[in-house]
Structure 1
Amino acid sequence: MKKCIPVLLMLTILICGYSKQAQESTSEPVSDTFFAMDTTMDFRIYGDKSLLQDAQNVITDLEKKVSVTDSDSEIYKINENGSGILSGEADTLMKNALEMCRRTNGALDISIYPIVKAWGFTTGSYQVPDEETIQTLLTKVDYTQIQYDEASGNERYFEQDGHTYWHIMDPATGHPAKGGLLSVTVAGDKGGICDALSTSLFVMGLDKAYDLWAKSDDFEAVFVATDGTVYITDGLKDIFSLAQGYEDTSVKILTR
């Protein structure tokens, strides 16, 4: 049975509209205050006043994606449906948040929303919930039950006549890629390159993807095969670890 874990993304955002040139153009800061993400935000910027509006736009756009109360937000829809797709900054935020959950061994748990809501912090109707309510809601708090996939054929798919068809297409066949992989995650310095590589390697399949990696020096990768085996490239061996609950998964290291 699929378990739905409501998600609350706790954000710390630093938006800097500062540059040396701007600082030199004026010694007086431009300030503004606005309310977003249930928080009063104060900004002080040296330079072009329009940067204040740019900062507000960035925060407003992100809030529209990750709000747990806005029915149009991506996070809200995932909480309601049990699954979904995150885009752009929301996707990056989710990935980073889950990584911090793992690094802190659950001291940060982004699935804590049911508890926060019970205390009234999401509505302003503050109350101390009874212990029975808290213990019941705690059964819904477990970040390890959140499944996050990158470059996966299962991000967008449909089933027809007993077959599953996903959105990553093989340009050589015009059909969904069948390279024997479930997902590919690429690590590197350039996000755009990594994004393109994750799709390309998925289409190639493990053998050809390995060949490309072996003659490259600008990325590392994690491959999940259809049999559940995880393959990691040599550059990730010292920092890669399996999430809690997946300790028995077979992991193989690819070397040049």
Structure 2
Amino acid sequence: MKYKHRLTALTALACASALTACSGQSGSQAGTSAGDPVQREFFAMDTYMTLTAYGDEAEAALEKAQTEVEKLESEWSVTNESSEIYQMNHSQGSPVTLSDDTADIVSFALEMAKETEGDLDPTIYPVLAAWGFTTDENRIPSQEELDGLLANVGYERVELDGNTVRLSEGMEFDLGAVGKGYAGDRLAELLKEEGVTSALLDLGGNIQAIGERPGGGDWRLGIRSPFDGGEGVLGMLLASDCAVVTSGNYERYFVGEDGKEYGHIIDPDTGYPVDNGLASVTIIADEGKKGDALSTSMFVKGLDEATEYWQEHQDFEMILVTQDGQIYLTEGVEDQFTLSTDFGNMDIHVIKGDEQ
């Protein structure tokens, strides 16, 4: 899988007292007591990951966590010829048998595509590649080229029966919008099984909080500003035992010859980068894979449709930031989010569940 590059959209500021001693280290480091953090940093899924855990079991658990991430990456890479996703994409219409892990995440991606009415579409990869977001060789495709590529986009045409999948010839599948979230869920499960009850996992901007901070209380997560290339911290979010995922076109974009900015989140209906007035979307969910999927699809939907979707479901929370500097957040996090001093003049609007 070719994963989306992301500036770190969230910073673990719980950190403030607990993790400062861990910054800048690579590999693993053991704490001197059960109250000290153990941290492991590595590059996987096309991004830098920082896993921080507490307790006597932390070091061994984090070693297993890294191994698990690397295993999943080997199964899901769109460029590794031995991966299952690569085999799917080059099957020329023939059925492919998947492992349980891959069949599970493919099924979930298709389920979320249907749930979001195609605003998340895991078959958009060829269009993403045409814009150069998978190679960093950015260009503006012609409308004729996009029309041809879009003819092979459509999650509903993917045939999945148990562990057997078949793509129509010309289609390509990518797990970039759900892969890191799924991995975060797996790592959280693994660490808990190993006896870790307090940990903070940063998978390239996808944050997975396990339990509470050492000693109790919510983790304090700094949400990056989507303005000026992601410089500065927009505000602080208090959260525990959940996933927090932010998406925005400020994370990866290029300026075309026409002088316009083109971001990496593509609208599956048009084949063009999303330009609907949103600057960023932060999702707070029980599952990382769901937070990952929703951060992308709610960004594609835009303010009004994302609000309607939340009011219909209300099984997650979100913070939407518009390009004109307005903040819309769902009522469940109204008391959990505080603007930083630099952005204290921004207006906050609370989305209520009973609004229709």
Q: Tell me the TM-score normalised to structure 1 length.
A: 0.48
- Higher-Rg structure is 1
